[in-house]
Amino acid sequence: MGVGFTTLLGKEVLRFWKVSFQTLLAPLISTLLYLVVFAQVLGQRVSVYPGVGYAAFLVPGLVMMAMLQNAFANSSSSLVQSKVSGSLVFVLLAPLSEIEFFSAYVLAAMLRGLLVGSVVLVTAGFFFPPQIHSLLWILVFCFLATGLSGALGVLAGVWAEKFDQMAAWQNFLILPLTFLSGAFYSLHSLPPLWHFISRFNPFFYAIDGFRYGFIGASDVSPWESLLIVGSTGLALSWATLALLRSGWRVRP
């Protein structure tokens, strides 16, 4: 990884930083609104795990949901915008390998996801101070989940050639996956069919493992979550790199 890679990474970070109202502040506001509405309405009535208040359960879920959505949005929107505008040509003309190209977009996506997550967590912490069970699990799932989501965003960006194709990814895949991921509820409260379907959602494992790091309780073992989030991220990265090497939709 050389200067070309660090330049592309820096450019991608600068790109979202220059529009931080849209890329950092807007997700903070929307996540806090979820928190206020759900924690206030349900906080006194719902207890998911014994001895754990609903806000303590909800905050990690919302933080991870924001990280997943924003990591995906960063890599996917940057790629599709530059494809539609034609400015991707400047990156394609450069002597960058596929792995440098992929890694720069994924790392920038991870950074945005982590920044959004940190800002949401710190702000939510003023109202609902979080408990920390294991910082290591929190960090592991932060990095793995934003990496997975960033890689998925690169795949979507490579595939999509129009904004409405990208909107289909957002509305028909990312939104359902993040909302039906146990951010607001425990899997055990679901009917058997939805419980079964949810076990195929990698975002569920990202949220469940991340939450374990805060409250020390989870629907499945954090090791199982680690295995599934990690292997899904690796499989997605491998598939996206293979597509990039083939030139599919990028170097036709």
Partner 1 sequence: MSSQERSLPAVEIRAVQKSYGALQALRGVDLTIEQGEFFALLGPNGAGKTTLISILAGLARADAGTLRVMGHEVVQDYRAARRALGVVPQELVFDPFFSVRETLRIQSGYFGLRHNDDWIDEILENLHLTDKAEVNMRTLSGGMKRRVLIGQALVHRPPVIVLDEPTAGVDVELRQTLWKFIRQLNGAGHTILLTTHYLEEAEALCQRVAVLHKGQLVACERISDLLLGRQAATLEEAFVGLIRDVET
Could you list the residues that contact partner 1 (CB under 8 A)? 2-4, 6-8, 10-11, 14-15, 18-19, 82, 85-87, 89-97, 247, 251-252
As measured in angstroms, the least distance from the Cβ of 8 to partner 1 is 7
Looking at beta carbons only, is 95 or 192 nearer to partner 1?
A: 95
Instruction: Give backbone dihedrals phi and psi of 50, rounded to 5 degrees, phi first.
Output: -60, 130
Looking at beta carbons only, is 14 or 37 nearer to partner 1?
A: 14
Looking at beta carbons only, is 133 or 249 nearer to partner 1?
A: 249
Residue 170: which of 152, 144, 148, 143 has the closest Cα?
Answer: 152
**DSSP-assigned letter for residue 184:** S
Looking at beta carbons only, is 14 or 239 nearer to partner 1?
A: 14
Cα-Cα-Cα-Cα torsion 242, 246, 247, 248, nearest 10 degrees, comes to -80
Residues 6+ apart with CB under 8 A from 50: none
Instruction: Determine what percent of the chain falls in helix, strand and coil, rounding each to the nearest 5.
Output: 80, 0, 20
As measured in angstroms, the least distance from the Cβ of 214 to partner 1 is 36
Classify the C-alpha dihedral 24-25-26-29 as positive or negative. Answer: positive
As measured in angstroms, the least distance from the Cβ of 150 to partner 1 is 19
Looking at beta carbons only, is 90 or 223 nearer to partner 1?
A: 90
As measured in angstroms, the least distance from the Cβ of 91 to partner 1 is 7
As measured in angstroms, the least distance from the Cβ of 76 to partner 1 is 16
Distance (Å, whole) CA 69 – CA 150: 9
